[in-house]
């Protein structure tokens, strides 16, 4: 088996490193896309929670105010119903905000493989 020159070895290392970096970039794009999808879903659910809050505000407030107005002053009926509906909406929104906080936007798989690639490149230079 013929031994390769240092120039050939460095040339091969440069090609392999370039290929590796291209693959890492593709991995990072895929991983960022997945993270963006998670955030998008959580934001969508947050918007749905807000819409439910608004719909509840309109329908429940109207019905319950009319019902309670027969027992207490109209302003007090409106206040009590409004506070109850707002508490439900707050619970829905808080749940989705907490879920958003748990999404880790860092490309952890890419960072790990880049670390491994760095070690591999160091070994190739030895």
- Vertex 115: Cα angle to 112 and 116 (nearest 5): 90
The token pair at 27 is: 């991995």
In a domain, 93, yes or no: yes
**Residue that the structure tokens 């439900």 belong to:** 88
In a domain, 85, yes or no: yes
In a domain, 116, yes or no: no
In a domain, 67, yes or no: yes
In a domain, 90, yes or no: yes
Across all residues in the chain, what is the average pLDDT?
85
In a domain, 73, yes or no: yes
- Vertex 17: Cα angle to 16 and 22 (nearest 5): 100
Confidence grade of residue 110 (pLDDT, cut at 50, 70, 90): confident
In a domain, 83, yes or no: yes
Number of domains the chain contains: 1
Interval 64-98: pLDDT, tens: 889 999 999 988 998 988 898 889 889 999 999 99
In a domain, 68, yes or no: yes
d(CA 3, CA 39): 53
Q: What residues make up the domain containing 58?
A: 48-102
Whole-structure pTM over 0.75, yes or no? Answer: no
């Amino acid at each position: 088996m013929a031994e390769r020159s240092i120039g050939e070895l460095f040339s091969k290392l440069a090609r392999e490193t370039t290929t590796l970096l291209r693959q890492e970039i593709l991995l990072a794009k895929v991983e960022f896309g997945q993270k963006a999808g998670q955030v998008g879903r959580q934001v969508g659910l947050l918007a749905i929670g807000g819409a439910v809050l608004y719909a509840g505000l309109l329908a429940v407030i109207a019905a319950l105010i009319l019902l309670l107005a027969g027992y207490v002053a109209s302003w007090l009926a409106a206040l009590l119903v409004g506070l109850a509906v707002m508490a439900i909406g707050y619970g829905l929104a808080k749940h989705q905000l907490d879920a958003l906080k748990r999404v880790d936007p860092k490309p952890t798989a890419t960072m790990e493989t880049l670390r491994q690639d760095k070690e591999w490149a160091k070994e190739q230079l030895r």
